[in-house]
Amino acid sequence: MPQLLLELLSEEIPARMQAQAARDLERMAREKLAEAGLLPEALTAFAGPRRLTLAAEGLPPAQPDRTEERKGPRVGAPDQAIDGFLRSTGLTRDQLTERDGVYFAVIARKGRPTGEIVAEMVEQIVRAFPWPKSMTSGDSKMRWVRPLRRILCTFDGEVVPFSVDGIPSGDLTQGHRFMGSRQVVRARTLEEYADGLAANFVVLDPKERKIRITEAARTLCFARNLELVEDEGLLDEVAGLTEWPVPILGDMDPAFLDLPPEVIRTSMRVHQRYFAVRDPETGKLAPHFIAVANIDATDGGKTIAEGNARVLTARLKDAQFFWENDKAPSADGTANFDRWLEKLKGVTFHAKLGTMYERVERISALAADVAKHVNVDQHMVGQAAHYAKADLASGMVGEFPELQGIMGGYYARVAGLPADVADAVRDHYKPAGPSDKAPTAPVTVALALADKLDTLVSFFVIKERPTGSRDPYALRRAALGIIRLALENRLRFGLRSLVLAAMRGLLKVKIDIGPAGPDQWVRSEIRLGDAVFAASDHRAGEEITAEYLRSIAAEHFDWVGQAEAEPLLEFFADRLKVLLRDEGKRHDLVDAVFALGDDDLVRIVARVEALDGFLKTEDGRNLLAGYKRAANILKAETRKNPKEAEGYGGPVDPALFAAPEEKALHAALESAAPRVATELEGEHFEAAMAALAGLRGPVDAFFDRVLVNADDAAVRQNRLRLLSQVQGAMGQVADFSQVAG
């Protein structure tokens, strides 16, 4: 079947946008083709430094003929309404059909040629393409990431004729800017297109560009007995910067190896897009680098390597200066950390949240609370918290912001701080993402938890919460970091209590003093964000201190603060669902366990895992069905008799049992309910589920042979109480009403 080939050639597309652009092009084309009733057998998109390419296989030459039925006005409707309907359909009145007193129009549409549909589709895609940033050029009003230069579009070996903003379609594209015997390439099929580009030094597929870079770089390293430092993120970037990637091995001054390796790698990676290399015997960095050129140089890349080495040398000399300067004590003998902390008093963390120094104070106070749960020395955690953010004011981090924390760890060692403190300063931002390992050292874990909790609570308090895909303060990542720290280190703490502790650190004291004189007054307020937690009036002359006001706030905060904490706890539940879903767990089970009010993350996950295993058994599935049936009956009876429903939670009267199945279920509940409670108390969740499983048979028998809605009101209520006890026994484990199925 015919093939569609589309290329949109422009000036350079930023590497960070290319992968998403290819996905967007494929998605938009698939949607537009589907709207037209055209379903390709295969659809592939490619992105490169200057071009977006789409190939669709197996499209039909034309749309299939279609018949559309449209409902019109009622028979006997005013002529105006009927005439308007006729105009919209292009039919006459005698062509309408009547059905149930309503006019219907049956419109036969002949399928249009696929080329016509493609022409319209491409223009719509170009004009609506969702670039994160775009621009116009010249007199054009059309926006594109960079000026659009050519459009290649062919179908079934023929050019699809159209024009977008003065740019005509054709079957021509361009090869490499500087290489190749001819830079203009003619192509009408994907094979011709890829071969023509390759002959003119353009590798179409980004996957192939990455393979070429990796294999050539490893070969260069092997020849010098070196080892490439793999970097997937950098590989993606350089593959997006080069159409004809050519790795080149360069040399640097070995004296720079005295710098921390993270400084060298950051300078190479972030500023120059170079790969680092190491000595395979020692595992340490070697005085070389791999740069990726976009041309085949006639001298084998020697000149390029020398030029890149000069640029890297300048960068590393700057880093060397900052490294030595940051380590040296100040002229007045003040320790560097103390000087840097003073500077943080003038650095705003957020307009509504104060300075970075105030944040350090909050984290220090919160870290002391966290330390109790991690079972680590509070003084050591406090010391680490006090110095954790100081390196933000250092020269090195000012030049290389990516090294915050890492440089703090180095400077802490230079300052003679304990190794555990230095490690905590270095690693307290971890885990920074799903691929980042969570710390396990107790001091580091306590500090990392306090840092992330302060971030989350602070922005939730000022209502800067994630919405949709927007999360400018990386709060989702912070919440997942806290969850991973707790789960991977098996930390037992109540999440609600730590959230409230973090909120207390954000309480602000505000004092207003009235005019001087005998009637002078003082009004104090304690605020959390925009919420007032305590307000008091005082006479002039009374001593009003922040400590006094905070003591007043504490009396009000715990019960008012619960409401402020709920949105954040729900946010944690959502993040936990994301984490467990990625591990194959059902999100509804997280809801079912969270509904019990438990906020111990380790215990919640253990409950979810036990519940997941239980519901996969036949006993679990059947008991869930019994629970749902009991819940539906109780709900229906509550709607019918709201006043009587108040008694459903009362004790069951065995004297009213009229069927052996009632007695059996009551006996099973009397046995299972306390066993379930005991096992849950000991956190033996599988055993608690096994105890619940004993209810399965009696519950099934009860529903098979007992009529709940008996004529005798007392018997009916007694049976409803029995069902309420089934709910209660199962409700100790989870809120089964939240479980799907």
Radius of gyration over every alpha carbon of the chain, rounded to an integer in angstroms: 35
Task: Judge if 351 and 480 occupy the same domain.
Answer: yes
Task: Judge if 53 and 182 occupy the same domain.
Answer: yes
Residue 594 lies in a domain: no
CA 127 – CA 535 distance, rounded (Å) = 56
627: CATH: 1.10.730.10
Alpha carbon 356 to its chain's center: 26
CA 300 – CA 658 distance, rounded (Å) = 97
pLDDT at 23: 96
DSSP single-letter state for residue 144: B
Task: Judge if 638 and 669 occupy the same domain.
Answer: yes
Residue 635 lies in a domain: yes
Extract the tokens encoding 239.
């593959």
Which runs of E-coded beta strand occur in 75-115? 97-99, 102-109
DSSP-based three-state secondary structure for 604: helix
pLDDT at 203: 96
Task: Judge if 545 and 688 occupy the same domain.
Answer: no
Residue 75 lies in a domain: yes
Interior/surface letters 107-145, b for 16+ CB within 10 angstroms, e for the rest: eeeebeebbebbbebbbebbeebebeeeeeeeeeebbbb
Task: Judge if 407 and 358 occupy the same domain.
Answer: yes
State how far the alpha carbon of 246 is from the alpha carbons of 27, 204, 301, in Å. 32, 15, 9
Task: Please count the other Cβ atoms lying within 10 Å of the Cβ belonging to residue 651.
Answer: 9
Among the candidates 109, 124, 141, a domain finishes at: 109
Task: Judge if 165 and 34 occupy the same domain.
Answer: yes
Task: Judge if 24 and 86 occupy the same domain.
Answer: no
How many domains would you assign to the chain? 5
pLDDT at 331: 64
Task: Judge if 424 and 349 occupy the same domain.
Answer: yes
Task: Judge if 37 and 174 occupy the same domain.
Answer: yes
CA 703 – CA 696 distance, rounded (Å) = 11
Residue 595 lies in a domain: no
pLDDT at 517: 66
The pLDDT tens digits for 318-327 are: 999 999 999 9
CA 55 – CA 368 distance, rounded (Å) = 59
Among the candidates 550, 584, 618, a domain finishes at: 584
Task: Quote the pTM value.
Answer: 0.82
Task: Judge if 345 and 488 occupy the same domain.
Answer: yes
Segments of the chain with pLDDT less than 70: 1, 180-182, 331-335, 516-522, 524, 533-561, 645-647
pLDDT at 180: 66
Residue 591 lies in a domain: no
Q: Which residues contact 297 (CB under 8 A, 6 or more apart)?
A: 246, 248, 303, 304
Instruction: Dihedral sign for Cα 594, 599, 603, 605, please.
Output: positive
The pLDDT tens digits for 453-495 are: 999 999 999 999 998 878 999 999 999 999 999 999 999 999 9
Q: Across the strands, what pairs with 69? A: 106
Residue 589 lies in a domain: no
CA 483 – CA 479 distance, rounded (Å) = 6
pLDDT at 717: 87
CA 417 – CA 560 distance, rounded (Å) = 41
CA 175 – CA 168 distance, rounded (Å) = 19
Residue 36 lies in a domain: yes
**378-387 and 442-461 helices, crossing angle to 10°:** 60
Q: Given 3-state DSSP classes, what are the helix, strand and coil percentages for the chain, each rounded to the nearest 5? A: 55, 15, 30
Residue 215 lies in a domain: yes
State how far the alpha carbon of 188 is from the alpha carbons of 7, 59, 173, 194, 482, in Å. 11, 15, 11, 10, 54
Task: Judge if 80 and 56 occupy the same domain.
Answer: no
Task: Judge if 567 and 646 occupy the same domain.
Answer: no
Single-letter code of the amino acid located at 580 = L
* Domain carrying residue 162: 3-62+114-199
Among the candidates 53, 85, 109, a domain finishes at: 109
Instruction: Dihedral sign for Cα 389, 394, 399, 403, please.
Output: negative
C-alpha closest to that of 258 among 281, 285, 288, 229: 285
Answer whether 169's CB lies under 8 Å from 161's CB. Answer: yes
Single-letter code of the amino acid located at 345 = K
pLDDT at 170: 95
DSSP-based three-state secondary structure for 43: strand
Q: Across the strands, what pairs with 164? A: 167
pLDDT at 631: 86
